[in-house]
Structure 1
């Protein structure tokens, strides 16, 4: 499968998004684009994920391991229709956001 985008956090290929360092200790999670119901561009603040290095806080949002997250201001929120959402903080936010919106076909600006 051709890789459309890759950095140390994510891989986007023709069929799916793979989130690196998602599971403990360092397992990846692959999500077919067809399983993504919604993609949101979401601001992060001190209490809303900016300081979360890995895991989940009080909100049902899972953050993959990203030691650089405190220096980032936005995340991509992925909704697959379940209780928990996924917050994604790729190195090139705009490129991954555009790819996911195009491939998933459903989006909303936050």
Structure 2
């Protein structure tokens, strides 16, 4: 039985991102304006970092600096304590900042969604039920047992 989820209802929304059940939208991602839609299923990794680790060449208020990270527009990025770094199976990576309380909520939601997607992918790739696997020794034993019965 499948459950239907309305993906048009935001789970988390603020001035930087709007998170839905299947994807999230990063506001003011492209310059001079434009949003970016990222599906949770495309995210390979989601990391939570301190902005103290960034040097002046690693970030920008909007766009890409000398590091392979694209930052959405956040004019208060220098005052933020933390950021999220996403590998969404694209170049460059995505850097997200926002109010720290919102950032933790968005991070937890993304981690939950990508771990759920990865476990589903693993389950979908299973072709067989491992409980039904019979080893070669068990097959040989069955054959020899059947031969003994015949004699």
**TM-score > 0.5, shorter chain as reference:** yes
Contact 1:90 1:96 (8 Å CA) reproduced: no
Counterpart Cα distance in 2 of 1:68 and 1:7:
15
Contact 2:77 2:98 (8 Å CA) reproduced: no
**TM-score (ref. length: structure 1):** 0.87
The unaligned stretches of length 5 or more in structure 1 are none
The unaligned stretches of length 5 or more in structure 2 are 1-7, 117-151
2:46 corresponds, among 36, 39, 45, to 39
Whether 1:82 aligns to 2:90 is yes
Report the CA distance between 1:70 and its aligned residue.
1.0
Partner of 1:95: 105
Contact 1:77 1:86 (8 Å CA) reproduced: yes
Question: Which structure has greater strand proportion?
Answer: 1
CA RMSD of aligned residues (A): 1.5
Question: Which structure has greater helix proportion?
Answer: 2
Counterpart Cα distance in 2 of 1:103 and 1:96:
11
**TM-score (ref. length: structure 2):** 0.65
Contact 1:36 1:80 (8 Å CA) reproduced: yes
Partner of 2:15: 8
Aligned length: 104
